[in-house]
Structure 1
Amino acid sequence: MLLKSSLIRAVSQTKGVITRGYKAKAKKIPEFTQDRYQVSRKSFAAVTDSDVSQFEKTIGSKYVVTDSEELLTHNVDFLKAVRGNSKVVLKPGSTEELSQIMKYCYEKNLAVCPQGGNTGLVGGSVPVFDEIVISLNRMNKIHSIDEMTGIAVADSGVILENLEKSANEHGLVVPLDLGAKASCHIGGNVSTNAGGLRVIRYGSLHGSVLGVESVLANGTVLDLMSNFKKDNTGYHLKHMFIGSEGTLGIISKLAILCPPAPRAFHVAFVGLPSFDAVLQTYLSAKRQLGEILSSCEMMDKDALAAAIQHFGLKPPIGDFPFYMLLETSGSNGDHDMEKFTSFVDHGMETGNILDGVVTGEPSKINEIWKCRELSAMAIVSRDGFSFNYDFSLPLRQFYEMVPVMKERCQPLAHRVCGFGHLGDCNLHLSVCFPEYSQEAYDLVEPFVYEYVSKLKGSFSSEHGLGFFKSKYLHYSKNNEAISLMKDVKNLMDPKGILNPYKVLPLK
């Protein structure tokens, strides 16, 4: 359907994968985290042969890993940014086995690192020292999906894409979509409070997750499962585990509310002259597209250029300072397309939109999404050493930090760009250098955190704190809040064995 002179472009490749990271040379094994960052080991016990024998009795020798090559895959994050030195990986197959493991570790003062798909971006999913890795890969059963209520109950080790496919078979959709969904676990998503592409439509996991089952540090199984959105019986303890990154307990099972799957999807990719035009277009999208708006993404020309340069993509439209990718999902394709074309036409009449493409064809939708998704992969894997951040910022100051960082870091930095989820105020900032250096580090940190604090934003919008960001917590939370967090940690995990050195400041 022709909107303006050249509004529809042909595209035909498959959808890419979102990944972001801290270090670009992904094939190189990093040095040990403890050495690079000069971290002091806490007074945990070291794993002995006797411990290994006990674990083999608990879960079977087949699921106790001590092989050095396999250990390496669990000791290094998938971005090759951090590296632990764990001597054993345990793969429990049930909540009961996980409970027995934690009870033993608590008694023996053995620290553990829970691990799902190991797709985290802040160093939270791998050990810092020799913590025991507890892999949840085997806890991968989907217990039930109720098409009437929309409630899915699944083990934490279920891969997000598998849960999505099962939900689709019941006419439902998981309210979370990530580029890493082919490998990330739903339990890991919940424990990091992952955001993704459609928070504007479905909200955060704090609203979608109805209940969790969690194994505490001492092996106690805490059953907080629920089949209701409304349950006002006391404190909502489930929320403590959503986003706590395995530091308060290990999520073993969860119930999540899955809305009906939309029958029609449409995507628009538009070019804009300024960030003010981006804001005006977003406001127009909320007013004109309303309930069918499911994603609202923004990227600047440098972010798109990275994907084009490193992956040879053909851009859907010409060269513009800013781009927006908007997606609608509804029940009536003709109605949705009519609203979308009217929205784009209005934007072009006002001058906020200079050119664009709108389509409901699946192959074209996938190709357009690649422009947004592969920009992150290009920056992380092929653009030198990149510092990457996920900030929540006031909408009017959403892009302000990008030109500030350009002025601060150039000419040393060869690319400074911004992209992200405009619909939920989540900016991804990337500052790229030819290679890592202390000079580059000092230009970027802690300046970026101080700037976010000045804008009263959050320096971790959806990726958590993990190891990398824990020392900067004071930029987003005051001393009283941090003190209370530490009190909760001490109450739930008095020996500190659950994912140590993560989330809370070490000092």
Structure 2
Amino acid sequence: MMHFNTKMLIRSLQKAKNAQYVFRNASSGLPDLTKDRYPVNRADFATLGDKHLQFFRDLLGPQRVITDPAECEGYNVDWIKAVRGYSTCVLKPKTTEEVSKILSFCNDHTVAVCPQGGNTGLVGGSVPVFDEVVLCTSQMNTIYDINDTSGVLICQAGCVLESLDEALAEHGLMMPLDLGAKGSCHIGGNVSTNAGGLRLLRYGNLHGNVLGIEAVKPDGQIIDLLSTLKKDNTGFHLKHLFIGSEGSLGVVTKVAIHCVPKPKAVNLAFVGLPSFENVLKVLKRAKRDLGEILASCEMIDESTLEVCTGNLKLRSPIPEYPFYMLIETHGSNNAHDEEKLNGFLGDVMDSGLVLDGTVTNEPSKMKNIWDLRERITEGFILDGYVFKYDVSLPIEQFYSLVPVFRQRLSNHPDIVRITGYGHLGDGNIHFQVSCKQFSREILEKIEPFVYEYTSRLKGSISAEHGIGFRKPKYMKYSKSPESIAIMKDLKKMFDPKGILNPYKVLPP
């Protein structure tokens, strides 16, 4: 790693894989039950009984039907401990056919089902609200094919994102998607939520990269949309109904995804800036001067970085500044990339836009820097309780939520910090208010104002985390009544009994 103040030399080295992301709970305490914390009523679904459990055991065997309360607990709580259900049954199918039989039976008997992958979601979409049966895809982890000519990967939905990246690396490829939770999240969950992540600026979103899927409808019907073609213009593109619908229309069981060549040259710069105005100017120059090699452009404010350096005891390679940017380049020619990055960094330093920074191409040091970005949510949990929001805003207004809420919640004794960070390159900010413990008073000061504010700026109330349980009633701030009505019609057509991931995504 090289530290610079006025001049910088840049070296390039192929980036090593990120180490597995490991979440550490702040404490063993559990949140209130969702039904007690939020105004929600259980729908008229069947209560699980012996006949249901016997069917599941006959189908899967006793080892893949979990009913022990202690073991079920982890499947009932989201990983930021914001919501909690009380399911008494977790099912672990291995095949599409088993998923089909489970859903067919549950549909016939009006048993509600909550699909769950790695349970890394942040809006309560992957855990039960009440006592829904959890359908966990962790045993569906087979990679069927990696075509190193076309770059197409075919796998089951329960494959862990980082495991896929490791398998692809042997073929000179990598996933177009990169997330902080890569060591835990499942590709089926990524597809079902249309996850964005750190590489979207360069490689696009999953609507573009997913070539085909296989899914099971709530009535058990298997839908084979597992195309591996980049161009297939025959009728409606039904796969897109399942990408981002958060398991409300069907359970994704297999995925065909177009993967990208693993870059031969990777560099990472971590820089400090005095103002958000400078951040915008550096972003503009990065797009202009780095062009085709610009892969990621992230922003972190000073208070967010303190979550990692204070709560998690991580070390920042540069002193404290009001704002920071991570700028990563991917290319195929070291000399070419070094020249472009060197010229860009020298320019922003000489013009005073950047005050300080560090550049590295050493895998271990790159990981240390990325930890300052990827482990932020983990660090926030140690503050106590975090109200976390994921919105898209016009780039000029990217950071505007933070000062607005610092004024709105000023002097509240339970507030620990109000901060913002996120995917500057695509306008997606992660805004959070952390406090000592859950407070309904603080919640009511934040919601619905945060969504009203976002709507006034023509933004989106959900950039990449989805709607889940936390946001259905606020969808009106991003979607027209006509759009919501069409989505409800689709839900009724696919799932007339409403058994699949109920209480999620759509307004009641």
TM over 0.5: yes
Q: Are the counterparts in 1 of residues 390 and 431 from structure 2 also a CA contact under 8 Å?
A: yes
**Matched positions, count:** 500
Aligned residue for 1:50?
Answer: 51
Q: Which moved more, 1:246-255 or 1:325-334?
A: 325-334
Is 2:470 the counterpart of 1:468?
Answer: yes
Q: Which moved more, 1:419-428 or 1:76-85?
A: 76-85
Structure 1 residue 156, shift from structure 2 partner? 0.2
**Matching of residues 216-295 of structure 1 within 5 Å:** 216-295=217-296
Is 2:413 the counterpart of 1:408?
Answer: no
The 1:432/1:17 distance shift into structure 2, 3 A limit, reads farther
**Matching of residues 373-452 of structure 1 within 5 Å:** 373-379=374-380, 381-412=381-412, 413-452=415-454
SS at match of 1:118: coil
The 1:192/1:63 distance shift into structure 2, 3 A limit, reads same
Letter in 1 for 2:193: T
Structure 1 residue 375, shift from structure 2 partner? 3.0
* Rounded Cα–Cα distance in structure 1 between residues aligned with 2:436 and 2:20: 24
Is 2:489 the counterpart of 1:487?
Answer: yes
In structure 2, the gaps of 5 or more residues are 11-16
Letter in 2 for 1:50: K
1:349-374 alpha-carbon deviations (Å, 9 max, x no partner): 22111111111111221111122223
* Rounded Cα–Cα distance in structure 2 between residues aligned with 1:334 and 1:359: 15
1:148-178 alpha-carbon deviations (Å, 9 max, x no partner): 0000000001111111111111110001111
Is 2:342 the counterpart of 1:341?
Answer: yes
* Rounded Cα–Cα distance in structure 2 between residues aligned with 1:388 and 1:336: 36
Is 2:192 the counterpart of 1:191?
Answer: yes
Aligned residue for 2:87?
Answer: 86
Q: Are the counterparts in 1 of residues 6 and 349 from structure 2 also a CA contact under 8 Å?
A: no
Q: Which moved more, 1:444-453 or 1:30-39?
A: 30-39
Q: Are the counterparts in 2 of residues 16 and 373 from structure 1 also a CA contact under 8 Å?
A: no
The 1:307/1:2 distance shift into structure 2, 3 A limit, reads closer
The 1:7/1:310 distance shift into structure 2, 3 A limit, reads farther
Q: Which moved more, 1:53-62 or 1:146-155?
A: 53-62
Aligned residue for 2:208?
Answer: 207
1:241-293 alpha-carbon deviations (Å, 9 max, x no partner): 00111000000001000011101110011111211111110010011111111
SS at match of 2:174: coil
Aligned residue for 2:323?
Answer: 322
Letter in 2 for 1:409: L
Aligned residue for 1:178?
Answer: 179
**Matching of residues 66-77 of structure 1 within 5 Å:** 66-77=67-78
* Rounded Cα–Cα distance in structure 1 between residues aligned with 2:369 and 2:299: 13
Aligned residue for 2:165?
Answer: 164
1:449-482 alpha-carbon deviations (Å, 9 max, x no partner): 1100111101111111110111211111111111
In structure 1, the gaps of 5 or more residues are none
Q: Are the counterparts in 1 of residues 22 and 183 from structure 2 also a CA contact under 8 Å?
A: no
Structure 1 residue 404, shift from structure 2 partner? 0.6
**Matching of residues 119-134 of structure 1 within 5 Å:** 119-134=120-135
The 1:20/1:468 distance shift into structure 2, 3 A limit, reads farther
* Rounded Cα–Cα distance in structure 2 between residues aligned with 1:501 and 1:2: 51
* Rounded Cα–Cα distance in structure 1 between residues aligned with 2:439 and 2:450: 17
Is 2:62 the counterpart of 1:61?
Answer: yes
Aligned residue for 2:14?
Answer: none
SS at match of 1:187: helix
SS at match of 1:315: coil
Structure 1 residue 7, shift from structure 2 partner? 5.6
SS at match of 1:255: strand
Identity of aligned residues (%): 52
Q: Which moved more, 1:257-266 or 1:27-36?
A: 27-36
* Rounded Cα–Cα distance in structure 2 between residues aligned with 1:106 and 1:375: 40
Letter in 2 for 1:433: C
SS at match of 1:162: helix
SS at match of 1:81: coil
SS at match of 2:353: coil
